[in-house]
Amino acid sequence: MANLSLFASSRRALPVATARNEAGGLAYARSPRGALALYAATGCLNSTFYASDAEQLDRVLALCAEVEPRFVAQTAIHARRIGAMKDMPALLLASLSVRDRALFAAAFPQVVDNGRLLRNVVQILRSGRVGRKSLGSLPKRLVREWLDRASEKQLLSAAIGNAPSLADVIRMVHPKPADAGREALYAWILGKPHDPARLPDTVRAYEAFKRDPANAELPDLPFQYFTSLTLDRAQWATLARRASWQSLRQNLNTFARKGVFEDKAALYEVVAKLTDVDAIRRARVFPYQLLTAYQATEGLPREIGEALQDAMEIATRNVPALQGDVVVAVDVSGSMASPVTGVRKGATTRTRCVDVAALIAACVQRNSPLARVMAFDTAVRDVRLNPRDSVMTQARQLAQLCGGGTNVSAPLAQLNREKARVDLLVLVSDNESWRDTRGEGATETMRQWAQIKARCTQAKLVCIDLQPYATSQTVERADVIHVGGFSDAVFDLLANLAAEGAGAQRWVDKIADIEV
């Protein structure tokens, strides 16, 4: 008889894993496109559990060089438009400036949609890391065109922040003001002499307020313009009422320190704003952002915490109700305790990968009460969630299990031991499996998935990766779908899969369809 380990039938043959992940485990290398898409969706150019910020930057630039420039442009647009990322789309766009000038110019206005992105792109271009140390004629022209198009409100918002500041950008590109008003505004931003009468009404009101805060009317500007001024509680309450939804979420503790919530009327107005359905939709609120805000509510009024829980329920309404036998496997291993957006001195989020993974599982079970949730590290952990609990409560219960090694195949092996029926398995992990690794052949996760498929021929596996690493424990194919990130793109893919089944468009294919 022929050696069956060498001559297995094609029906049973599994793809051979030829890579090692950062934890040393056997793994599959992602395609350059798939890896770049994952880095763009999850990478914040900060240090992660297994990689430094510099290593992440080098890997992204190497991937940009491997794939065609058009896909780099499409990925930059997707990362900004769908993923609401900040640094990564700026980096991808900047890399195009030395590879394809036409694509760089076409993608620029689609990626640079606010002053923060503008300043990010300028800083990356000047750093020398993408192959140039100065802006050059084309980038300067595109920056000038952005400044020309920007409204007064956009420019005043862009003027908040440094490295570089908007004043630095203006000095670099020398925009030509379209009229006396824009000329005065540029001069004011630069700190140069100007005609005060030509300034926008808001700026003139701000200058008057700085001279006499007690008697002048509080101008309608972002609250960052007032942090260095002495305001009373009523004025801070006015700023809280005027703040954008995201700004309000991010600065709840600041407003609390300023005594805003001691005024019950102001407190109830803030609560109403936090739970406003239209405001949440316009703000493009991601569930993990609400979780981050909720984690920082210690010391805040109980009404604020409850409002954020209500906002979470509103923000997750688009999570589809999944039919059939659904399983969500959540990685609660030690590496999942790392901050989901990486580590950067002075800017490290409290929200961990495990928090986001638990949040995804809780959101699925909230809308699909019969879904089974399995937590795992080296083995499957015992956990029972009440689908009637809030998303916040369920996520906290799961995240409390965090610790231990990583065995991604553990939940699949458990399902096989039970001979459980599976229609859809959602696996949320950083894919750094090492406890179940072997010397060669297929990963244990693919072996266990093959057994599930033999029993449940219509089963689908969705692998959600939360960290920017270039390997996976599974190979993407007809029954295995990969997606990365912590934005609503994850839930969109689940919704498409629920509606379209096997014909659902893949994540990378969606990116490749973007018009540039």
Q: pLDDT tens digit string along 307-320? A: 999 999 888 876 78
Instruction: Evaluate if residue 282 carries a pLDDT over 90.
Output: no
Span of 167-181, 336-350, 420-434 with lowest mean pLDDT: 336-350
Average pLDDT, stretch 246-261?
94
Q: Is 42 exposed, middle or buried (0-12, 13-18, 19+ CB in 10 A)?
A: buried
**Cα distance between residue 155 and residue 426, in whole Å:** 43
Q: Note whether 452 and 415 are within 8 A (CB).
A: yes
Confidence of residue 227 (pLDDT cuts 50, 70, 90): confident
Q: Are 408 and 433 in contact (CB under 8 A)?
A: yes
Write down the mean pLDDT value for the chain. 91
Number of H helices, E strands in the chain: 24, 9
The residue ranking higher by pLDDT, 236 or 342, is: 236
Q: Residue 363 has what pLDDT?
A: 87
- pLDDT tens for residues 41-60? 998 888 888 888 999 999 99
Mean pLDDT of 84-97: 95
Please give the model's pTM, rounded to 2 decimal places.
0.90
**pLDDT (0 to 100) of residue 507:** 87
Q: What's the rounded mean pLDDT across residues 113-129?
A: 95
Q: Is pLDDT larger for residue 405 or for residue 214?
A: 405
**What is the predicted pLDDT for the residue at 432?**
92
According to the per-residue pLDDT averaged within each range, which of 102-116, 271-285, 427-441, 499-513 is highest? 102-116
pLDDT-derived band of residue 10, with 50, 70 and 90 as boundaries?
A: very low
Triad 51, 473, 3: Cα angle to 5°: 135
Q: State the amino acid at position 97 in one-letter form.
A: S
pLDDT at residue number 502 = 66
Cα–Cα distance for residue pair 309/296, rounded to 1 Å: 13
Contact at 8 Å (CB) between 252 and 297? yes
The mean per-residue pLDDT over the stretch 494-499 comes to: 76
Task: Pick left, alpha or beta for residue 419 (phi over 0 → left; psi -120 to 50 → alpha; otherwise beta).
Answer: left
What pLDDT sits at residue 79? Answer: 94
The confidence score (pLDDT) of residue 422 equals 96
The mean-pLDDT minimum among 1-15, 155-169, 216-230, 248-262 falls in 1-15
Give the pLDDT band (50/70/90) at residue 5. Answer: very low
% the chain with pLDDT above 90: 71
Nearest to 452 by CA among 464, 443, 463, 461: 461
CB-based contacts of 154, cutoff 8 Å, min separation 6: 114, 115
pLDDT of residue 409: 97
User: Token digits for 189?
Assistant: 């931003």
Which tokens sit at 388? 């009637």
Q: What is the rounded average pLDDT of the residues 402-413?
A: 95
What pLDDT is recorded for position 365? 86
Domains of the chain: 320-512 (3.40.50.410)
263, pLDDT greater than 90: yes
pLDDT of residue 435: 92
Residue 235 CA to residue 260 CA, distance in Å, equals 9
**How far is 448 from 451, CA to CA, in rounded Å?**
5
Q: What is the 3-state secondary structure (H, E, C) of 113-128?
A: CCHHHHHHHHHHHHCC
Segment 67-78 mean pLDDT: 98
